[in-house]
Structures are given as structure tokens and as C-alpha cells.
Structure 1
Amino acid sequence: MTEGDSLTGRLLVATPALADPNFNRAVVLLLDHDDEGSLGVVLNKPTPVDVADVLQPWAELAGRPSVIFQGGPVALDSALGLAAVPGQGEEPLGWRRVHGAVGLVDLDAPPELLAAELASLRIFAGYAGWAPGQLEDELAEGAWYVVESEPGDVFSLDPRQLWRSVLRRQRSELALMATYPDDPSLN
């Protein structure tokens, strides 16, 4: 795989054909995609757990809704932080750029180290992971649409509507999928 083949920073949008309940109507931001596999977080599955209940030091910096998101079915007892750092300057300590202004936050670092640099922060419990070639197989099976991410996707104020809004903005017949019913058997 060449760097141009990498899907890092792009969105995986679950197709209606994807049968895995962990990814029903999921929108996944790919954080890493290379020959060693793929890793991402589901952007549209907020939990009822407040950030303050789990990671109190980071609660003040968390965006709205200020809850933990279920990032995927893998390692639910671990946390990943994604934050926006505006500008293209030097990366602040405790933050690694993934794509554009979005990057991973070292949640073991003191929050005050990054507080002045962060524009938004979202915390995810767990992640979605694929072994080498596994994601490519799922793409070939039609399980995912691959689309460009936009800066607001990670920090959407209405994450439960993200699946529809990401599809609706596409400039192709893919936009029609935004109207796909939750339960097609009821039509």
C-alpha cells in the first residue's frame, strides 16, 4: 500500500448491508490505515456517561455533548481523545495530527498542557480495528462507503444524525441513501 492508498482521515459510513450491530449506521473516522491494518473511532455513538465521571481532569475541555462516545467494540476499557488544534504550526506536546486540524490527544498528559491549544475535544471509549486486509475485504463486500471527512464531523453537536448528514452532503446518488429507512420492512 502506498501513502496515496491510505484512507487515514477519511470516513467509513456503514451501508445498510452491514450486518454487524456494532456498526449499525456508524460513521467511523479512520485514524490509521496502512499495511499493518486499520484503526478508527465511531463518531456517532454517544453514551450516557459524562466525561467528568470518567476523566475529570479533561471534562472542562470536552465539547458538547460532554459525554464519552463508544469508539468501537475493541478495548472498551481504554480511552482515546480527539481534539482540534487550529493552524498548521508546530504540533503541541501531547497531541499528534491525524488529518487536517484533528489529532490524537495523550490523555495521560496534564490537560493544562494543551488547554490553550485545543479548539474542541471528544473522548472515546474503545475503538474499531481491522487486521491487515480485513477492511479492504469489507469494502469489496460493500459494507462501507468511503467519503471525505469534514472538520465538523468529529465534533458534531448532533452526533446521532451524523450518518444521514454525511450521506446527504455527497454529490452523487449516495446522497439518496440518507433517506434509507431505519427499518425497511415497515415500508
Structure 2
Amino acid sequence: MSMSDFYADRLFNALERNEPAPGMLLVAAPGMLSDEFNRSVVLIIEHNEHLTFGVNLASRSDLAVFNVMPDWLPAVAKPQALYIGGPLNQQSVVGLAMTKAGVDMETAPQLNRLANRLAHVDLRADPGDIAELVEGMRLFAGYAEWAPGQLDGEIDRGDWFVTPALPTDVIVPGRTDLWGDVMRRQQPPLPLFSTFPADLMDN
């Protein structure tokens, strides 16, 4: 039995399963061997019969927002770096935000509600208007996408655990281990894996 089969059979497949939907997180299984998705926490933005689309919240780049989209600085939470949302189309940028308390997203067409206080931001909007509505936001270069049936197959295999996102997941401080934090707030036994090493050679 391979290590990936061990974790799939003994961990994620044994847990109560949530269905993928906008506002849910895809949390990479401990020991996932994919360099692109190891310790990733993907927020689902769109999920329908045609595709699943989301961004990895846990991969910060060394590129400052100031150097690429300076108009958005007033809205962007610190650290004000561009994040890498996924391997596809890294020339495109996705905006996600935690709204201020009391903001009604139904009256703010620039915000597409994903969950309570969690929004997908229309980057065609005026950055100043968005800054008035949000506690903070992040900009993500690129995204992850799955074809029909592809994600279900990966979940069945045990590659991903599906859990609700918190709005604070989008704007966590720079030194936070988001993958470990998300694992720690799950039901047992997942918190036991929150300190699983990023590189198995470290264990």
C-alpha cells in the first residue's frame, strides 16, 4: 500500500463527507504528493455541472500588490503581496474579501456572496468603493479548475477534505499556517494531522 493510499483509506474516506459548493474549502490530504497542491487550502468560488473553480488561499508570492495593482492597496490586507491562486492562467487575478460587519452583499453588486462575510470581488469595480465595504481582501494570480466529475473522483480517492470556509481564512496574517489552522478546527482525528510536515523528509 502506498502512502497516499494509506491516508486516503484511513483518514479522509472515513470522515463524514461535505459536498463541494461555493464557500467551501478543499483541504489537501496529508502527504499529498502533488507539488502544486501539497498543503493547499482551495476556496471554491464556482461549482456546477460544467466545472469547479477556486483559488488556493495558502500560497503567497514575493510580488508586492504595489508593483502590479497599486490602486487596490487601500482594500488589501497585510501582508500586501500577490498570492498564487493556482496553476492555471496566472496572468488573470481573482479578488476575495472579508466584508465589514453589517454589509449587505445583496445591495453591493460588486460583491458575489460565497458565505457569511465572504465575497468574490468584481475587480472591474472602483477600488475605493470596495475598500469601504471590506475588512480586507486578497488578490490571487491564477486559479485551479476541475472538469465535470474530476473533483468528485479526487475526493473519493481521498485527496481532498471538504469543509466550510471562515471569512477570516481569506485574510490570515502572513506567518499563519492556514492548512494547519483549518485542520485544527475540524473534528477528530484531523487535528492530529495539523503538524504533519510539509516535506516528508523532515519527519
TM-score, structure 2 normalization: 0.84
Unaligned runs of 5+ in 1: none
Cα contact 1:8–1:30 (8 A) shared by 2: yes
Task: Please state how far the C-alpha of 1:150 moved relative to its aligned partner.
Answer: 1.6
Number of the residue aligned with 1:57: 71
Cα contact 1:38–1:135 (8 A) shared by 2: yes
**2:30 paired residue among 7, 16, 27:** 16
1:167 corresponds to 2:191: no
Aligned length: 184
3-state secondary structure, aligned to 1:22 = coil
Aligned pairs for 1:85-100 within 5 A:
85=99, 86-87=101-102, 89=104, 90-100=106-116
Once the two structures are superposed, residues 136-172 of structure 1 have per-residue CA deviations (whole angstroms, 9 ceiling, x without a partner) of 0100111111122122111111465011111011121
TM-score, structure 1 normalization: 0.90
1:151 corresponds to 2:156: no
1:72 corresponds to 2:81: no
Q: In the superposition, relative to structure 1, how do residues 146 and 165 fare at CA in structure 2: closer, same or farther (>3 Å)?
A: same
1:27 corresponds to 2:56: no
Per mean C-alpha deviation after superposition, the further-off stretch among 158-167 and 135-144 is 158-167
Please give the alpha-carbon distance, in whole angstroms, between the structure 1 residues aligned to 2:131 and 2:195: 39
1:119 corresponds to 2:135: yes
Q: In the superposition, relative to structure 1, how do residues 159 and 145 fare at CA in structure 2: closer, same or farther (>3 Å)?
A: farther
Please give the alpha-carbon distance, in whole angstroms, between the structure 1 residues aligned to 2:130 and 2:152: 36
Please give the alpha-carbon distance, in whole angstroms, between the structure 2 residues aligned to 1:110 and 1:183: 42
Cα contact 2:64–2:80 (8 A) shared by 1: yes
Unaligned runs of 5+ in 2: 1-17
Q: Percent identity?
A: 36
Structure 1 residue ranges (4+ consecutive) displaced by more than 6 angstroms after TM superposition: none
Task: Calculate the aligned-residue CA RMSD, in Å.
Answer: 1.8
